Amino acid sequence: MSTLLILLPASPPQNGPAPQDYEFWFSYDAQAPAHAHGHGQRAPLDAMPHADRVMLLLGDDQVSWLPAQLPKIKGAKLRSAIVGVLEDHLLEDPERLHLALLASPDTEGQSHWVAVTAREPLRAHLQAMEAAGLIVESLLPLSWPQTNDGKPGGDEDREDGGHVFAGSDDRARLRVSRADGVATFPLDSGGLRAWLGEDWWADAPVTASPAASAAAEQWLGRKVRVVNDTDRVWAARKAPVNLLQFDLTPRQRGWRRVHQAWQTLQSPTWRPFRWGVIGLIAVQVIGLNAMAWQQGRAIDARKAEQESLLRQAFPQIRVVRDARAQMVRETEALRGGAGQVGPGDLEDLLGAVARVWPQGEPPLPNVRFEQGRLLLAGLTPPQRAQLRDRLGQDPALRVSEDGETLQLSLRPDNR
């Protein structure tokens, strides 16, 4: 799965004739990219390579972590609770800051880590990403506090450590990530060794950028592991937190998941699956067309058989439009000419009435036959109801009422 990591500058996007360049790292197969000197590439947002996953990164100097005792609440009220708890510790107006939790509160009064960063530059960068057509999946920090509490998102396998890098003024700085917080100090800060403790000084895993490795080893008096920008950025993908929370939570998650699933299916890894689906659809389409062709041939054969039978039985018919209807019409004409009673005739319908007419009752007072219907009038309401119920039990008959007249006819499918 192709992955695009973009490092956000601390300042908002520049408005000028030339688009702003962002440092980025791109991988076709979710493996760490290899670039000369361990640095990322630079390009404006609209020139970024297309990727299945887009992740943003905040530098160490852009995120502060503060502890907070929070109630067990969720939703919109949670941010208000965070602001209420941290109000005295925030250096700026809370409305100008973006807050995010390392983990959601699940126990009343438990201490939780809150990430604090400037809201307006972050919002401006996100708007620029959206304008460039980039669907951002997550916003990740380069470092975060160790939790070591066994909860999901914890860092049980990580040890307290630090990373030494060269600041913008070429002054070496130490980024410390421990269970009691995350902080950045110049290496020449007084009292730093005492605050870290001798155990940390002797055993804590410390990494350093290539430019600051010599200063780190001289300061610690021992070897450090050199980690370039690419390695550190790529390791940040496993951060246990997505800082896009509260009002910056990505909207239309369902559509984003569909889009991400579609992008995943476009990757080379899923090529056999795509060809399998295409083959299955092709087989289904071909099978349905073959079945429709066979059904059409069967219908045509049945029509030809009916026409042949009609011409054999009634040679005088020259033009066949509806073989079944013409055969029924010719058969009825022969039956009528022979004086035989057929279904739906007066005698047939009167016979049906006679079979259900109660013995001892006087004859029907008013009987009329017209257009295949037998009309019975002059019946009392009890007689009409009784006759309607009894005749209605015959599935070949259709019984209805028109005012005080009972209408009886043969159903079309029984003619």
Q: What is the DSSP string of 67-79?
A: EEE--S--THHHH
Q: What is the pLDDT of residue 153?
A: 41
Q: Looking at residue 372, what DSSP letter applies?
A: T
- State the Cα torsion 230-235-241-244 to the nearest 10°: 20
From the DSSP assignment, how many helices (H) and strands (E) are in the chain?
Answer: 11, 17
Q: Average pLDDT by consecutive 10-residue portion of the chain (415 residues)?
A: 90 81 88 69 91 91 89 81 88 91 70 91 93 90 74 49 85 87 86 86 91 92 91 90 88 62 73 89 93 92 87 84 81 69 71 82 82 83 86 84 84 65
- Contact by Cβ (8 Å): 138, 100: no
Q: What is the pLDDT of residue 212?
A: 92
Residues 142-181 have pLDDT tens digits of 999 876 544 434 444 455 789 998 877 778 899 998 888 8
233 CB-near residues (< 8 Å, 6+ apart): 5, 7, 25, 40, 57, 142
Q: What is the pLDDT of residue 338?
A: 66
Q: What is the pLDDT of residue 336?
A: 64
HSE value, Cβ hemisphere, 13 Å, CA-based, for 22: 30
Angle CA(31)–CA(37)–CA(40) in degrees, nearest 5?
55
CA distance 330 to 336: 10
Beta bridge partners of 43: 22
Residue 51, classified by CB atoms within 10 Å of its CB into exposed (0-12), middle (13-18) or buried (19+), is: buried
- Contact by Cβ (8 Å): 103, 156: no
Residue 354, classified by CB atoms within 10 Å of its CB into exposed (0-12), middle (13-18) or buried (19+), is: exposed
Q: Judge if pTM exceeds 0.85.
A: no
CA distance 126 to 148: 32
